[in-house]
Amino acid sequence: MKNELEAFVQNNGLTGEMFFIIKDNDNYIYRRVILHDENTEPLITENFKKSITDEIIKRISINDNGDAIIDNITDMNYEHKGVYYFDIASEDKSTIIKIIEEISSLTVADNPIDFKFNDVNLDNIIGLVYHMSDGDKNIFLYQHRYPNFLHKKSRLSFLGEGDVLVPIPYDMINISKVIDFFVFDGISYAINIKLLEERYGLTQVIDNMVSEVTPKIIEMEIVNKSVLAEPEKIFDDMKDDRGFMRKLARVLKNGILELNIDVNIVNEIKTSFPTIGRNIDIINDDNGMQYIKLTSKARKKAFIRLLNDEAVRSVLTQKPSIAQNHKPEKNITPT
């Protein structure tokens, strides 16, 4: 995909068209923006060509085989600023994401409704989609409406016209170079994870994954269920820590739950990986059974760190580590 994008932006024959996504009462709709001025479309297209290079291509790492490294967004591996396959099920996608994908499915036979600047309040625009095409491949770039997107005219708004300062008689919009989400060649990708969490439904997806993985963790033979009044709520005190929640959700898909980890294995991990091991305490219950101590937030963080560690999984599966240049997590000292 990286090579295809590099070739795409080198094409001097790219054309572009713009769509606004608008909040209409409690609904979201899209409208095509007419770019009649001969300078407008080439200028915006050139702006987004640079954005594709800076915001997408430069974020994509290459492995030793020369293949692009693009994780699924549900892998929750967000330690590096990358590009992610948006592998969220259709029923879990936010309305705006669905609209972006609907725009990307338009054909030349479709005739979308045009945006009327005199009829629609610019305050109702919540984002824009810019479609670029070389006649064969297509990319649809989504840019969320940021605070500097709209300049509302006021009694003291002016611009320079020649040597004269004159009042601005209209509202203005500012298009930046940011790309938050895009569809290329029919496949959806995410860039701005924080925005997707805050505004576009990813938080709910993460919480759903946490709800699914928590009972699986509890059923492991390393958590003492007998001392938990409500085992399913063992991580409820961590809900405000979104970084932790992402890491907890990651356990669902990283393969560790299939390895039948027990206390003996954890003890081996403590010996083989002292940095991780010193933050994990094994305790005995009244019957002499051993369990991991999960009595504080710091201990829970250390435990989930162990379950997500690439080197640990590599040893347990006797397979080479597939770590993708993510920076090491900070050491956590339990209390």
User: Which structure tokens are listed for 107?
Assistant: 């054909």
**pLDDT, tens digit, for every residue of 62-98?**
888 888 889 999 988 876 678 999 999 999 999 999 9
State residue 318's pLDDT score.
66
User: C-alpha angle 172/175/180, rounded to 5°?
Assistant: 140
State residue 276's pLDDT score.
81
State residue 62's pLDDT score.
87
What pTM did the predictor assign? 0.82
pLDDT at 10 over 80: yes
Cα torsion angle, 325, 327, 328, 329, sign: negative
Q: Average pLDDT for residues 238-257, to the nearest whole number?
A: 92
pLDDT at 232 over 80: yes
Range among 159-173, 245-259, 315-329 with highest mean pLDDT value: 245-259
Contacts 24+ apart (CB under 8 A), 270-276: 272/315, 273/309, 273/311, 273/312, 275/331, 276/302, 276/305, 276/306, 276/309, 276/312
Residue spans of the domains in the chain: they are 2-200, 203-317
**pLDDT, tens digit, for every residue of 109-151?**
899 999 998 888 888 999 999 999 999 999 999 999 887 787 7
Can you tell me the distance from the alpha carbon of 294 to that of 228, in angstroms, rounded to the nearest whole number? 10
Contacts 24+ apart (CB under 8 A), 152-160: 152/122, 152/123
**pLDDT, tens digit, for every residue of 101-110?**
999 999 888 9
Helices (H), 202-280: 202-218, 242-250, 263-272, 274-277
**pLDDT, tens digit, for every residue of 26-62?**
899 999 999 877 789 999 999 999 999 999 999 998 8
State residue 327's pLDDT score.
35
User: Which structure tokens are listed for 20?
Assistant: 């606004």
Q: Is 126 helix (H, G, I), strand (E, B) or coil?
A: strand
State residue 164's pLDDT score.
82
CB 139 within 8 A of CB 18: no
CB 81 within 8 A of CB 59: yes
